[in-house]
Amino acid sequence: MAPKKLAAGNWKMNGLTASLAELDALAARDNGCDVLICPPATLITPAVAHAGEIAIGGQDCHAKDSGAHTGDISAAMLKDAGASHVILGHSERRADHGETDAQVSAKAVAAHQAGLVTVICVGETEAQRDAGETLDVIASQLAGSVPDCATAANTVIAYEPVWAIGTGRTPTNDQIAEAHALMRDTLSARFGDGADVGLLYGGSVKPGNAAEIFDIAHVNGALVGGASLKASDFGAIIDALAKA
């Protein structure tokens, strides 16, 4: 079974109630592939009411179900709010909050137990890319961040080179292909259904470059940041994926 095509939008720390109009516009389209929007936690429940066939996810979760963790949100809380997915291990969480592979893996276990699909992010920094360490970094993050309970049904992997996020820069097609081939081979070797795990590319995906990126082998979709905030931009990316 081939991996499903998925266009995922990460709104990051952007979005107020008025932003749900963009979700309305996306929900009214014939999108032609699976679409996921991960708004800030304050908008998850109202977003579900506006989403139609679009899935709604969280941007992080805690590894514990409950407890004295002020400001954190558990996977069960995301599920209760109406979310079906959660992004984990995004480079901004790793950099800004010092998240380790082990912490990402623990969060993924909690998310799976709560019935959420995890979008686990991996990717190298510019210094690691320049040092020729990209494939080693990706392999290490996959080994440490993806738990043994991961399956093609509950896990998606997003390759996001840190130096390309929000910069307008993207790796070459050959660099993207090399990273995605490594991920496919690594997952296939570790999991029986690893060949079916969806692999997304993220990092300055825009309407202008989406079609070219989606033509690359083992790229099954995208994790999109800024371009997912406007239905017109994200809709064009979705259309490119649907046609790929």
Q: Walk me through the domains of the chain, giving residue ranges and CATH numbers.
A: 6-243 (3.20.20.70)
Per-residue model confidence (pLDDT) at position 192: 81
- What is the per-residue pLDDT across 129-152, written as a single tens digit (0 to 9) for each? 999 999 999 999 999 999 999 999
Residue 9's pLDDT band (cuts 50, 70, 90): very high
Please determine, for residue 194, whether its predicted confidence score (pLDDT) is greater than 80: no
Per the annotation, the verdict on 90 as an active-site residue is: yes
pTM of the model: 0.97
How does pLDDT run across 205-239, given as a tens digit for each residue? 999 999 999 999 999 999 999 999 999 999 999 99
DSSP class per residue in the chain: -PPPPEEEEE--S---GGGHHHHHHHHTS---SEEEEE--GGGHHHHHHHHTTSEEEES--BSSSSSS-TT--BHHHHHHHT--EEEES-HHHHHHH---HHHHHHHHHHHHHTTPEEEEEE---HHHHHTT-HHHHHHHHHHHHS-TT--TTTEEEEE--GGGTTTS----HHHHHHHHHHHHHHHHHHSTTGGGSEEEE-SS--TTTHHHHHTSTT--EEEESGGGSSHHHHHHHHHHHHH-
Catalytic residue from among 22, 92, 124, 160: 160
pLDDT of residue 112: 98
Active site includes 92? no
75-93 residue pLDDT tens: 999 999 999 999 999 999 9
Q: What is the pLDDT of residue 169?
A: 83
Q: Per the residue annotation, which of 50, 62, 90, 218 is the catalytic one? A: 90
Determine the average pLDDT of the residues in 4-32: 97
- Looking at residue 161, its pLDDT comes to 96
12 has pLDDT over 90: yes
